[in-house]
Structure 1
Amino acid sequence: MTQKTLLSFGHGYSAKALAALLLPAGWRIIGTTRSADKAKLLQRTGVEPLMFPGDDLRAAIGAATHLLISAGPDADGDPVLRDVGDHIRARAAEFEWVGYLSTTGVYGDHRGAWIDEKTALAPSTRRGQWRKEAEAAWAAIPDLPLHIFRLAGIYGPGRGPFAKVRAGTARRIIKAHQVFSRIHVEDIAQVVAASIAQPAPGTAYNVCDDDPAPPQDVIEHAARLLDLPVPPAEDFETAEMTPMARSFYAESKRVRNSLIKEALGVKLIYPTYKEGLAALLQQSE
């Protein structure tokens, strides 16, 4: 029997969490990176590194039974399709499963209202528009068994609020009716693994937890877990922020996650940020 082989483009934070589930099950995983130092780190974890762009990926594409695309698009489109799209199209029907990690940013702003996978895509940011276009480009490939995962704000080991709260640099920016959905990286991994086990080509999944919450609530909870002072509230309209930081407040929505539960049988490890932060704190001690 052919060994299950995942070719992971842009093998970063979420893909590493997936690899931690697949490698013990006997999978071969080939991961691309732009950094020679990161390539060495990947190799130590059991992932076969390739430089992208740079290395010839034709053999890896030919060996892959599964593809995962984490590499983000830019103004010129999807970098994977731009560089090796012809080779992927030539094998489209031979892949058992293809996953594309997108973002809930493709839905745009809904002023705090609930949305689901049937909600029209109407991104309000440049990055969201690039993601929408990349989703469409992948979906346009005939016979490709594509699955799209629209990820909420990602947190997990090394990506939580504790470091900033400890350093006194965390900020509680208050914008009326602002809510974000989030997802722990371990839950991303289990959702993608469940999809691999139960392919349903053409499906898009929202990947988020059960509790969309204002960002200031998360910072306050983190501070209380650490028994440190809660950072003072700052009004969004007058707070000094970089354009990038301010752009994260451009959209507010509550994202439903019913499909990953009903179609994939997923039971979230961290159903809210409170369980997730508690686990992160315990792991760091």
Structure 2
Amino acid sequence: MKALVLGHGYSAGFLTPRLVAQGWQVTGTTRDAPDRVAASGATPLLWPGQGDQVRAQIAKADAILVCAAPAAQGDPVLADFAADLARATPRWLGYLSTTGVYGDHAGAWVDETTPLTPSTRRGRERVAAETAWQRLAADHDLPLHIFRLAGIYGPGRGPFAKVREGTARRIVKPGQVFSRIHAEDIAQVLLASINAPDPGAVYNVCDDDPAPPEDVIALAAELLGAPLPPAEDFATAQMTPMARSFYAESKRVRNGRIKERLGVRLIHPDYRSGLRAMMAEQPL
């Protein structure tokens, strides 16, 4: 069995070892980090750079996972490989999107049936990319699955480094909550879907406990035995436009579908479990 990951980055680094353990041969594209891709167990290909080899892998892949993010000009995978994908015959095709497609719901719950009303540029680009992939799948009978990921964290990607460096900030915006997902849980959701394809399915990938961002920083400081960063009022805090944009949307994301349809039992059902595991695995 052959798997191709287009844009083999952080999340794919947790999926690849699971696939290899099941006997899959994994190839992953990267712009500039072939050693990192190889370390996860995948064969690296440079993209851009080795487009013909990527096309050859598309033609023979049993599973294709698209992790590359869209840009203002559209989806880069479709820009380079739409014709090749249209001729491909995978039994599973996955696209990693984001819960940002739902937009702002003032802290209310959303699920996969909620209308897509993004309020940020990034969210609008994701909606456009989802639509383009769904169109390609419909036109060429491709077994597309869409995964809307919440905020990703895990080893090497979390609040600990900033807390230790003294740069962490507890920005407080009343009513603000974010949903999150540990990278190991992303990997198990994807593997469960690969093992039980359901073409056309859309899944929210998040944990059970949407929480205010300042609570996550507070727990990280507690676990490290570091001083609690002072609370800062969002309304008056000095922030870059990019940083401020992350607070433009507040919602609680339901994850029932990954449990009911894929039988997933989350390894880290909340950020408390995830952060404590990160500390236990590699004390920071």
| Partner in structure 2 of residue 166 of structure 1 | 164
For residues 153-192 of structure 1, the aligned pairs below 5 Å read 153-192=151-190
Q: What is the match of residue 245 of structure 1?
A: 243
CA distance in 1, matches of 2:87, 2:22: 29
- For 2:27 and 2:218, locate their aligned partners in 1 and report how far apart those are by CA, in whole Å: 40
- SS at structure 2 position matched to 1:263: helix
SS at match of 1:266: coil
**Deviations, residues 17-67 of structure 1 (Å, cap 9, x unaligned):** 1001111211110100001xx113322443111111121122111121110
CA distance in 2, matches of 1:46, 1:260: 26
Match of 2:103 among 95, 108, 113: 108
What is the match of residue 127 of structure 2?
132
What secondary structure does 1:279 align onto? helix
Structure 2 residue 38 is matched with structure 1 residue 46: no
Q: Which AA in structure 2 matches 1:68?
A: L
1:59-93 deviation line (CA, Å, top 9, x unaligned): 111121110000000011100000011010112xx
CA contact (8 A) 2:13 2:40 kept: no
SS, match of residue 132 in structure 2: helix
Tell me if the contact between 2:176 and 2:212 (Cα under 8 Å) persists in the aligned partners.
yes
Work out the CA distance in 1 between the residues paired with 2:105 and 2:172: 18
SS at match of 1:98: strand
Q: CA–CA distance in 2 between the matches of 1:70 and 1:50? A: 14
Question: Structure 2: where are the runs of 5+ without partners?
Answer: none
1:53-132 aligned at under 5 Å gives the runs: 53-55=48-50, 56=52, 57-91=54-88, 94-132=89-127
Show CA shifts across 1:86-110 (max 9, x none). Answer: 010112xx21000000000000000
CA distance in 1, matches of 2:170, 2:69: 29
Q: CA RMSD in A?
A: 0.8
Task: Show the 5 A alignment for 1:258-277.
Answer: 258-277=256-275
The aligned runs of 1:170-249 (5 Å cut-off) are: 170-249=168-247
The normalised TM-score by structure 2 is 0.96
- Partner SS, residue 211 of structure 2: coil
CA distance in 1, matches of 2:115, 2:245: 21
Measure, in 1, the Cα distance between the counterparts of 2:38 and 2:225. 39
Answer yes or no: is the 8 Å Cα contact 2:14–2:40 preserved in 1.
Answer: no
Pick the aligned partner of 1:28 from 8, 25, 48. 25
> Does 1:12 pair with 2:9?
yes
- TM superposition score normalised by structure 1: 0.96
Cα offsets for 1:242-276 (capped at 9, x unmatched): 11100100000000000000000000000000000
**What one-letter code is carried by the residue in structure 1 that aligns with 2:239?**
M
Q: Secondary structure at the match of 1:140?
A: helix
Partner of 2:77, secondary structure, is helix
Query: Are 2:149 and 2:204, in contact at CA under 8 Å, matched by a contact in 1?
Result: yes
